[in-house]
Structure 1
């Protein structure tokens, strides 16, 4: 490959400027909004870049449209393909409908009906949804087979220069709308497309801005790849933060991020859930788990950002209401409020009443109680979930259980067993 051809495959600042023009009448110029509560809490100027307000409720429309609109006539006639169960699929569907290009979108068969419905709604008659396999990898493999057979163009969710340049327009808008220089930009990282686009802009226009990438603790593909010096494949990930849970980042995005990121923070999934609930209750903002990542990281950086101008990208709001109970559960577990035990009551009359009156605190609540029908509630082992009024009283609870001879297993320290039982 000639050097000139190779350079065309690398995202550039000029390419991002061109993408901005192309996207001008397609994407929403989302607001950069200063948040008073977060600014006061962190003693900083904290603003939100509200990509959750896009037509498809995430920034993914930017990269998808920029890529698909760049195809030549033959490529357009052959159609495009993508594999996704989330926001990328919706961005691709919307772009196909706007540009009049046929698209085939492969999604795992276990994808929630709400997301499938959204993709079909945005794509209308220009998109065919193919449900195949149980995992993203199954859908991806089928998509690549289809591309080879039909000579269709695969639209990658992040590892493509046109996609990265489209995502980079988020940073252009931030700099244009910011009130003064930006000290810190916090961006969520899944495959790395948004971070790579932002770095490409900032190294040209605002080199003093520190770019902080944020990954879920259960899917640290970018951090591990940078640490190990090679693009690794994580053997196992927690898929709860589905918009940022990838087993492997892009080759292009890794090259850019390892040079341009100032830091990568890992945020526990439970902390993200607490942030989702806080945004809903205090700010009336609905976000998906990946959309809350950048804000959830601020606690871990609070000393460094004092007095600074900080921007956090809220990347999306495609949250399924059926996940609300799981979000609340994960938040309570993370905050140290909810605890699960297997308790074997002593073989004496009144043991259950003793547990209720002498072990539990006056404000503690039993939220889960399950026992085998072959055993008496008074004598057999029981699976019990507790919500403590004060998270600091857990140690005292342990001491009371032991003093009253209640044999128990603490399941919060055994997440695999807890997930199976609860």
Structure 2
């Protein structure tokens, strides 16, 4: 059987029609003018559980046999899959067990409990998702239950594909769909459906630069387990894509783009400030990609899937910091102050530009306060001011090390 014979998106849409919201496809005037095309945002951040993950979880659980349902279902997730799974268990009256890493923020646990509304038990185990997954699979086998994976199952892919069903229904003359890629369920499902409707539709996958699992899989022609990943864009940071999702994506994706984490942070802030949209990091990936492919967009109908809006407010400080670093507006230095009176005053008056701000200042050695090396964070108004700042440091005889240029030093000090 071919992949497309295994996937019945219309049947999935029918199962989901009274469960999920048909989320709006909103025309963005700001982005359309910026890129000289028609940009539409598929707002899965407005879904019942604030992400598309409900679609796959409900579609799979609702197709299980009564005997399987009576034994209960299990999943492993610290994020959107857990919430979609919990909501599905509640709606279907099924007992669910959710494994989450012990480090999962309380806010995510509370959200999952709320959507489960008494139907789910949460077990916190292990420091990483991989530890948690191992325990979940062992528990599933020991109790004869059914495991609901986050992406690598035809019923999950089919459910996520209903995002594509809705997009095509609302915009049949779509030219380009930009879809975030984590494990590959959404891009495999929505991409397949859109290609079935019109093979000329361009499907562009978007991954975080720090977790290029689908990119590597496509390069090596098989799923590859990455040794380490940057987990910042948590909704799309997986070490290995699925066997099924890879097999589908290699045929469906016309291109895949890697986006730096800092670029995603800038996009999150712009969506919030200029469009009043709260997007989680994975949800902002598709919009962040527009800058990198702007030459291919002119005059086209472009859909960016905003895959989720579960952004923890506690992360906003980190998001702003990463954005400033990426844009070249924030720099950290180790500055060795000359051992003479007034050195600090000289630095403030002669080295800092009129629009530069010191955002952090601390002497590194506890015994050499007021002289010796200091960690100094400086925020600029424009990235172009950086070279002149360095020049003024030299002219005024301040020895400095650019901490931003040394990843190990940066992680240790900042």
Residue matched to 1:415: 407
Count of equivalent residues: 413
TM-score by length of 2: 0.98
Residue matched to 1:279: 271
Higher mean alpha-carbon deviation, 293-302 vs 354-363, is at 354-363
Residue matched to 2:57: 64
Is the partner of 1:303 in helix, strand or coil? helix
* Change beyond 3 A, Cα 1:408–1:94: same
> How far does the alpha carbon of each residue in 1:321-356 deviate from its partner, in whole angstroms, 9 at most, with x for none?
000100000000011100001111122222111111
Contact 1:13–1:200 under 8 Å retained in 2: no
Residue matched to 1:26: 19
Residue matched to 1:80: 73
Contact 1:164–1:193 under 8 Å retained in 2: yes
> How far does the alpha carbon of each residue in 1:76-133 deviate from its partner, in whole angstroms, 9 at most, with x for none?
0111100000000000000000000100000000000000001100112110000001
Is the partner of 2:8 in helix, strand or coil? helix
Residue 236 of structure 1: how far off its partner (Å): 0.8
Q: Confirm whether residue 323 of structure 1 aligns to residue 315 of structure 2.
A: yes
Q: Confirm whether residue 39 of structure 1 aligns to residue 58 of structure 2.
A: no
Output aligned runs, 1:18-417, within 5 Å: 18-178=11-171, 180-371=172-363, 372-377=365-370, 379-417=371-409
Residue 402 of structure 1: how far off its partner (Å): 1.9
Is the partner of 2:40 in helix, strand or coil? strand
Distance in 1 between residues matched to 2:7 and 2:132, nearest whole Å: 34
Contact 2:7–2:155 under 8 Å retained in 1: no
Residue matched to 2:9: 16
The RMSD of aligned alpha carbons is 1.1
Distance in 2 between residues matched to 1:229 and 1:172, nearest whole Å: 28
Distance in 2 between residues matched to 1:415 and 1:111, nearest whole Å: 27
Is the partner of 1:191 in helix, strand or coil? coil
> How far does the alpha carbon of each residue in 1:246-299 deviate from its partner, in whole angstroms, 9 at most, with x for none?
000000000111111010010000010011110111001101000000000000
Residue 403 of structure 1: how far off its partner (Å): 2.2
> How far does the alpha carbon of each residue in 1:185-220 deviate from its partner, in whole angstroms, 9 at most, with x for none?
000000000000012202210110000000000000
Higher mean alpha-carbon deviation, 237-246 vs 382-391, is at 382-391
Residue 12 of structure 1: how far off its partner (Å): 4.2
Residue 416 of structure 1: how far off its partner (Å): 3.2
Residue ranges of structure 2 left out of the alignment (5+ in a row): none
Distance in 1 between residues matched to 2:382 and 2:78, nearest whole Å: 39
* Change beyond 3 A, Cα 1:153–1:375: same
Distance in 1 between residues matched to 2:7 and 2:109, nearest whole Å: 35
Residue ranges of structure 1 left out of the alignment (5+ in a row): 1-6
Moved over 6 A (4+): none
TM-score by length of 1: 0.96
